[in-house]
Structure 1
């Protein structure tokens, strides 16, 4: 599972670069300052959680299999898709109703960091 989270984090990092280019070359010229700010919030959250996923994967490689780390990783991935993805879609489609998804993504991200913290405190999995 640790490789999966490192790979997912790396993929989110790649998407971050693509969306950063979209932000600079397309979004900046096409939307107002408020929507541009929303798009850039999505970017900040995406890169931070891409690195978080990589960190979860590396921690899992160090500590061994852990249910808490596995759940934390999947929540972080899903939370990033819901949080950043919904904000990207709001800006790119002009449908603010998609914002109903954003708080679910944020809640998943908070819970993922909590579980990650608990997994590290708990230490290596018992065999």
Structure 2
């Protein structure tokens, strides 16, 4: 199967984000466990879970883009998934690692972007 350029791009990004979620998860499990409180570790793990699940979703959207190469909505939704995931998860990582509670205030922005992105995917699927 030949992949479109956008599909290749998002498959590569998703592959990198998956490797990063595994590395960051291992860091949390082994490096942070003895340093932070249990509640802070739970916050960190929430970031890992959102990154992991949305990375799997990004793989799915990358494949959908390949089948609907002319879909600007799918490409935009893939970017929003990536941006939302970064804002959501990395704000939680930074909150825990750097003890910056103010970053918790931007986490919902990432969550909102993720919701919008997945609604865009839904619209794109229903539309055709």
| Same-fold call, TM cutoff 0.5 | yes
**Alpha-carbon distance between aligned partners in 2 of 1:120 and 1:6, rounded to the nearest angstrom:** 19
Q: Could you list the runs of 5+ residues in structure 1 that have no partner in the other structure?
A: none
1:93 and 2:98 equivalent? yes
Deviations 1:75-105 (A, max 9, x none): 0000000000000000000011111210100
* Residue of structure 1 equivalent to 2:3: none
Partner of residue 31 from structure 2, selected from 14, 26, 49: 26
**Alpha-carbon distance between aligned partners in 2 of 1:122 and 1:63, rounded to the nearest angstrom:** 12
Alignment check: 8 A CA contact 1:7 1:54 kept: no
* Residue of structure 2 equivalent to 1:43: 48
Alignment check: 8 A CA contact 1:89 1:95 kept: yes
Q: TM-score, normalised by structure 1?
A: 0.93
Partner of residue 73 from structure 1, selected from 75, 78, 98: 78
| Partner secondary structure for residue 70 of structure 2 | coil
Which runs of at least 4 in structure 1 moved beyond 3 Å after TM superposition?
A: none
The count of residues paired between Structure 1 and Structure 2 equals: 123
Q: Could you list the runs of 5+ residues in structure 2 that have no partner in the other structure?
A: 1-5
Shift of 1:63: 2.2
| Partner secondary structure for residue 64 of structure 1 | coil
* Residue of structure 1 equivalent to 2:62: 57
- The root-mean-square deviation of aligned C-alpha atoms, in Å, is 0.8
* Residue of structure 2 equivalent to 1:12: 17
Partner of residue 119 from structure 2, selected from 114, 117, 121: 114
**Alpha-carbon distance between aligned partners in 2 of 1:100 and 1:4, rounded to the nearest angstrom:** 31
